[in-house]
Structure 1
Amino acid sequence: MSATDDVVLRVENLVRHFPVKGRLPFTSGGLVKAVDGVSFDLRRGETLGVVGESGCGKSTLARMLVGLERPTSGQVRFGDAVVHAARGRDLRALRRRIQIVLQDPYTSLNPRRTVREILLQPFEIHPDALDRKRRLDRIRELLDLVGLDPSVHLDRYPHQFSGGQRQRIGIARALALQPDVIVCDEPVSALDVSVQAQVVNLLERLQRELGVAYVFIAHDLSVVRHISDRVAVMYLGKLVERGPEVTLYDAPAHPYTKALLSAVPVPEPVGRGDRRRILLAGDPPSPVNPPSGCRFRTRCWQATETCATTEPPLAGDERAVACHYPLAA
């Protein structure tokens, strides 16, 4: 798993800043530092979970991974290609290899097209991907793969499906061109709990059968733990901790990770009273003017002057943490 040859997607110091308009015309109100120096590798056939509070930059990161958003600096490498530097035919070839499943199943599908037309569109954009005579058979295979009946659902419109069924159609569309990587941007957050479980189990089954790698972005820590091999924790545009799922959940090294995990509901009554909930002081700082040094220091219970003056690097290989005073296991 640690071999360089297994890395299918490499993110190197990725930055995305958005300008803020000032109150007067043609003036600047600063920069929103949505993503500010994120690096990680995605290995073939694995799932990397990305978690964090709303507004920490997860969705901006997802859009940059598939080339929908251009980074301010840094790069996303897919093999030998740089995603945001590709143009024309090269970009089209890359988009066959990297697909995305969007958060809202009610707005990610064209309401004017049937399922047949929605699933045919990838082959219309990439006509060399599959012979025209085999496309309808491929669409039926995709619907079977995600648990929908082609004889019933093929000529229906999106409004005739439930939210879980729509998300299955979105997953089928992402799988149409047999990609190596699928970026899942909170794919179950708009669904009921029972439907969430169905979609997550579907993603796991497809990964076993097809060997596709996922970047699974969510704020539900229980779902992320269920599906992920490794987990990266974001706070205010930066990764503060990264490591194997079991290690990170059982022994968090960063104070922010420990605070996040303390908020996860415990379904079993036995031992529930033994867990101490960590309540963070204050609100998350503004991404326009983040704190100096460690960005979490204004809410951290063990911050010192060093945390205010020196930014901790994300140090480590398989298990990495950005903290001057990491927690003991």
Structure 2
Amino acid sequence: MSATDDPVLRVDKLVRHFPVKGRLPFTSGGVVKAVDGVSFELRRGETLGVVGESGCGKSTLARMLVGLERPTSGEVRFGDAVVHTARGRRLRELRRRIQIVLQDPYTSLNPRRTVRDILLQPFEIHPDVLDRRHRLDRVKELLDLVGLDPSLHLDRFPHQFSGGQRQRIGIARALALRPDVIICDEPVSALDVSVQAQVVNLLERLQRELGVAYVFIAHDLSVVRHISDRVAVMYLGKLVETGPEAPLYDAPQHPYTRALLSAVPVPEPVGRAERKRILLTGDPPSPVDPPSGCRFRTRCWQASETCAHVEPLLTGDGRSVACHYPLPAP
């Protein structure tokens, strides 16, 4: 199923600030601006890759998309429902339609439950989805769908599986209720390279077969390029560049995006010596006190006074960049 123009998920000016306690009791030390004005749309059957350095707000964004974290302002809209304001039956329905695959396959599964119990639990929480007589058959179908043998793995505990097998169980759990959207929060970062490829190929195959949409969050740009239709680059809580995968990777317009891509390892030795690596000076600023204007200006090689006083807006049609001096094609 190819991506359509019908958005299944809309994110509008999403903000999440965390208060920081001061050194003295009952005093405030400011706020951590983890996510600060993120907007995008996700179409049915599409994969949106979200990349950026550690600490840029990717995982906080993921938690807000599924309603595990309440935004300070802005909204996440699924159809005509706002995720963080839904209650009761409406919230239960949204939980079924939007699922998440967590980053760590070693802690995201209950060690006291067998695979049978882990995959039956979604149907216990949503008993109207499937009749009790057919639930075990559905669990076996899910295991077979993600490449695990039900006759061998159904009654094992999580510690009896490898990392890649545990992540497959996590994917099966996310697919149990047939969701429209799955948020993948760095689902392969804890796995070996060969296992990463297996899990990514599995996600692509499931998307073709089931038509599910993904928000794929990662810091490995090569993996994101392989699986994504569109890519959004985050820096210090904000999106700095978005666009289709091929144009963004081949001709990045934001200096931060170009610096990130210059650090991706090149497997072919031909041309490696001529490749220009961009080394950013200094450390990322604190999200408690981000720079004025453009947040990347303290590490940017072409920053000017304008960058210090005027915040660039994410503008463009299809391909968007938040920079006063977007880079030309290399």
TM-score (norm 1): 0.99
2:4, 2:44 within 8 Å by CA — same for their partners in 1?
no
Whole-Å separation in 2 of the counterparts to 1:139 and 1:318: 40
Distance 1:197 1:51 in 2: 18
CA distance in 2 between partners of 1:235 and 1:82 (Å): 26
Structure 1 outlier segments of 4+, above 3 Å: 1-4
Q: Which amino acid aligns with 1:203?
A: L
Match of 2:159 in 1: 159
Alignment-derived partner of residue 27 in structure 2 = 27
State the alpha-carbon separation in 2 of the partners of residues 145 and 2 from structure 1.
22
- Matched-pair contact (CA < 8 Å) for 2:8–2:42: yes
Determine the C-alpha separation between the residues in 1 that align with 2:320 and 2:134: 47
Q: How has the CA–CA distance of structure 1 residues 192 and 2 changed in structure 2, closer, same or farther, with 3 Å as cutoff?
A: closer
Q: Distance in 2 between matches of 1:44 and 1:146?
A: 21
In the alignment, structure 1 residue 144 sits paired with structure 2 residue 136: no
State the SS of the aligned residue for 1:129: coil
Instruction: Kindly indicate whether residue 248 of structure 2 is the aligned counterpart of residue 248 of structure 1.
Output: yes
1:69 matched to 2:69: yes
Aligned residue in 2 for 1:115 = 115
Secondary structure of 2:289's counterpart equals coil
Q: Distance in 2 between matches of 1:275 and 1:309?
A: 34
**Partner residue in 2 for 1:103:** 103
Q: CA deviation at 1:88?
A: 1.1
Q: SS where residue 272 of structure 1 aligns?
A: coil
Q: Deviations over 1:1-29 (max 9, x none)?
A: 8975x100000000000000000000000
Taking the aligned partners of 2:273 and 2:77, their CA distance within structure 1 comes to: 46
Matched to 1:130, the amino acid is: L
Q: 1:183 maps to what in 2? A: 183
CA contact (8 A) 2:44 2:212 kept: yes
| 1:1-329 equivalences in 2 (<5 Å) | 6-329=6-329
Secondary structure at 1:188 match in 2 = coil
Is contact 2:3–2:44 with CA below 8 Å preserved after alignment?
Answer: no
- For structure 1, list consecutive stretches of 5 or more residues without a partner in the other structure: none
Letter in 2 for 1:84: H
- Tell me the CA shift for residue 209 of structure 1: 0.3
SS of residue matched to 2:317: coil
Matched pairs, number: 328
Q: Which amino acid aligns with 1:193?
A: V
The code of the aligned residue for 1:256 comes to Y
Q: Deviations over 1:85-126 (max 9, x none)?
A: 101111000010000000000000000000000000000000
Which amino acid is 2:97 matched to? R
Q: Equivalent residue of 1:138, what SS? A: helix
User: Hey, what's the Cα distance between the residues in 2 that align with 1:223 and 1:2?
Assistant: 19
Structure 2 counterpart SS, 1:36: strand
Cα distance, 1:274 vs. partner?
1.4
Paired with 1:275 and 1:86, the residues of 2 have a C-alpha distance of 50
Cα separation, 2, equivalents of 1:200 and 1:214: 12
| SS state at 2:136 partner | helix
Given that 2:119 and 2:173 are in contact with CA atoms closer than 8 Å, whether structure 1 keeps it comes out as yes
The residue type equivalent to 1:302 in the other structure is Q
Secondary structure in structure 1 of the residue aligned to 2:273? helix
Instruction: Please list the CA deviations of residues 139-186 of structure 1 after superposition, one character each: whole Å capped at 9, or x if unmatched.
Output: 000000000000000000000000000000000000000000000000
The AA in structure 1 aligned to 2:238 is: K
User: SS of 2:128's equivalent?
Assistant: helix
TM-score, scaled relative to structure 2 = 0.98
For 2:282 and 2:169, the matched residues in 1 are separated by 41
CA distance in 2, matches of 1:259, 1:100: 30
> Hey, what's the Cα distance between the residues in 1 that align with 2:273 and 2:29?
47
Deviation per CA, 1:278-309, whole angstroms, max 9, x where unpaired?
A: 00010000000000000000000000000000
Q: Distance in 2 between matches of 1:308 and 1:281?
A: 17
Q: CA RMSD in A?
A: 0.9
CA contact (8 A) 2:4 2:45 kept: no
Mapped to 2, the partners of 1:223 and 1:135 lie a distance apart of 34
Once residues 120 and 140 of structure 2 are traced to their aligned partners in structure 1, the CA distance between those partners, rounded to angstroms, is 11
Q: CA deviation at 1:317?
A: 2.6
- CA deviations on 1:13-68 (whole Å, 9 max, x unpaired) are 00000000000000000000000000000000010000000000000000000000
Kept in 1, the 8 Å contact 2:233–2:240? The answer is yes
**How far apart, in 2, do the equivalents of 1:275 and 1:47 lie?**
29
Letter in structure 2 aligned against 1:156: R
